[in-house]
Amino acid sequence: MAAWVYILKCRDGSYYTGCTTNLEQRIAQHKAGTFSGYTSTRLPLECVWCGEFQSIHDAIDYERKLKRWSRAKKEAVINGDWDSLPVLARNRQYHAPPQ
């Protein structure tokens, strides 16, 4: 059964990442504020990216990966800029706290 991973842009400019087996229904639920949680307090929402996967297990794996990514990497996915992902991963620098 096919499944989707999606990224929503919230009113405050933040991104929400989720996965589902019924994309149209799930996006409608988010937009209606059906479930209390992150997106229900940040309406209106816009679906800015979705990707189809062979199984819900593959979708869940990719969703978990995306949730850990930086905003810049998520925006590269949204823009279809796949070539910049390795560069963004390499450019992630550790900044020591001020002393």
Task: Report CA torsion sign: 41, 38, 40, 5.
Answer: positive
Is pLDDT of 13 > 90? yes
- Is the pTM higher than 0.85? yes
Give the model's confidence band at 88: pLDDT under 50 very low, under 70 low, under 90 confident, else very high. confident
Q: pLDDT digits over 49-87, tens only?
A: 999 999 999 999 999 999 999 999 999 999 999 888 888
Closest CA to 15 of 99, 75, 56, 65: 75
* Domains of the chain by start residue, with CATH: 3-90 (3.40.1440.10)
